[in-house]
Structure 1
Amino acid sequence: MLFIGLLQMPLISAETAPDQALQRGEQVAQVVQGILGYAQWPHAPQQLRLCIVAPTQYADILLASRAQESQRPVHSRRLLFEDPHLTHACEAVYIGILPDAARQHLLERLVGRPILTISESADSCGEGSLFCLYVTDESTSFKVNLDAVARSGLKIHPRVLQLGKRLREQP
C-alpha cells in the first residue's frame, strides 16, 4: 500500500489554546476543501454532500457556511456512522473518532463506492480511508491511500500527487 503525504499547511502561532484549536480547525477545513476540489466523481454532482460521522476534533468549521467556499458548493451535515443512508446520501465522508471495530465496519461499508473518505486519524489509511489527516501544532498534512483511491472509482487530479512527497510504503 503506497501512501503519499500532501499539502503541508503551517499553522500560525497562537497565543492561547482556544486560538490554536480554532486555527487547527481552519487549517483542516482548508485541507478538506482542497481535497474535495481535486476529486472527480463518476457522475459529477452539482453540489457535494459531505457527511461528518462520529465525534470530531476539527470538523466544526466544515459545518459552518464560511468553510464552504469552493468551486463546487458543499453541503455538510452530521450523520451517525451506522446510518443506512450514508452509502447513497454522501459523496464524501469525514470520519471522526470511532472505536477501531466501528471505524473498520464503516470503511468496509464504503469500500468500492465512489465516496471520498477523509479520516481525522492518520492511522486510518491502513484500514481503507482514502485520505488521512495528520494535525500537529506546526502543520496540517495528509496521507493518501492510493489502493483505496483506485478501488473507489474516484479520480484525484494528478497535481495533488505532485504536491506531495512519498512518506513510505506500508506492507
Structure 2
Amino acid sequence: MDVAVSKAERILRWRQCALATLLCLFSLLAAAQPEPQASASLAEQRAKAVTQVVLGILSYARWPVEPAQLRLCVVGPTEYTDDLLKGATQATGRPVLVRRLLASNGTIASECDSVYVGKLGNDERTRLFSSLTGQPVLSISEGGDQCTVGSLFCLRVSDNQVSFEVNLDSVARSGVRIHPSVLQLSRRRPATP
C-alpha cells in the first residue's frame, strides 16, 4: 500500500510541476507581447512626428500665388495621417485644410496646393503624377521608395524619427519654390541608434 501512495504522490507532484512550468511559459509569452496601448501610443507618436515634418516642409515652400489657406489632399491609403487629418495650422498662422481624395479625382491639380501620397498601384501613381506635371503642387510620398517616381519629398518613418528625401528633378519641374535649408536638411543622414 505504501508503494501505491508514493506512486500517486509522484504523479501528483509531476502534474503540479508540469502545470507550474506551463503557467510560467504562458506568463513569459504574455509579457513578450506588446501591450495594445504601447503600440497605439507609438503609432500616435509617429503620426504626430509625420505631421510636424509635413508642416515644416510646407512652411518652407512658396507657390507662384500664395494661398490664404493651404489645401493639402491625402491620396491613397496611408499609415501616418491620422493626426494630420484633424486639421492643422502652420507656425505662421496659416490654416491647412486637409482632406482625402481618390487618386482618380481629376481635380487634384486645381483643388490641392499639396498632395500627401499613400500607397497606390503603379498605374494610379503614374496617372496622378501625370496630372500634376507642370502644376504648382507640392507632393509628399509616405513611402521613401517612391522618390524616383515623381514626388518632391519622400518620408522615411522609423521608430526613432521621421526624415525625408528630396527629388530635385521633381522640385525643379513643379513650379513650387523650396527654401535651400530644407534641401540641405534632406542630405543629412539620420542618426543611427
Structure-to-structure mapping, 1:7-26, within 5 angstroms? 16-26=38-48
> Please, what TM-score do these two structures have when normalized by structure 1?
0.84
Q: Confirm or deny that 1:50 pairs with 2:72.
A: yes
Partner of residue 89, structure 2: 68
**Counterpart pick for 1:119 among 135, 141, 144:** 141
Deviation by residue 1:73-114 (Cα, 9 ceiling, x = unmatched): 111111111111111000000011111221122112112210
Contact kept, 8 Å, 2:115 with 2:137, in 1: the verdict is yes
Deviation by residue 1:101-131 (Cα, 9 ceiling, x = unmatched): 2112211211221000000011111001000
Higher helix residue share:
2
Count how many residue pairs are aligned between Structure 1 and Structure 2.
152
Q: Confirm or deny that 1:135 pairs with 2:172.
A: no
Partner of residue 59, structure 1: 81
1:164 alignment partner, SS class: helix
Counterpart amino acid of residue 89 in structure 2: Q
State the Cα RMSD in Å. 1.5
Deviation by residue 1:45-77 (Cα, 9 ceiling, x = unmatched): 111000111111011111113x33432211111
1:126 alignment partner, SS class: coil
Counterpart amino acid of residue 51 in structure 1: C
Separation of aligned partners in 2, 1:68 and 1:60: 15
Runs of at least 5 residues in structure 1 that lack an aligned partner in the other structure: 1-14
1:127 alignment partner, SS class: coil
Higher-Rg structure is 2
Separation of aligned partners in 1, 2:186 and 2:144: 16
Deviation by residue 1:11-67 (Cα, 9 ceiling, x = unmatched): xxxx711111000000000000000000000011111000111111011111113x3
Runs of at least 5 residues in structure 2 that lack an aligned partner in the other structure: 1-36
Structure-to-structure mapping, 1:100-111, within 5 angstroms? 100-111=122-133
Higher strand residue share:
1
Partner of residue 36, structure 1: 58
Separation of aligned partners in 2, 1:57 and 1:116: 20
Moved more, 96-105 or 45-54: 96-105
Contact kept, 8 Å, 1:38 with 1:160, in 2: the verdict is yes
2:84 alignment partner, SS class: helix
Separation of aligned partners in 1, 2:163 and 2:75: 20
Counterpart amino acid of residue 170 in structure 2: A
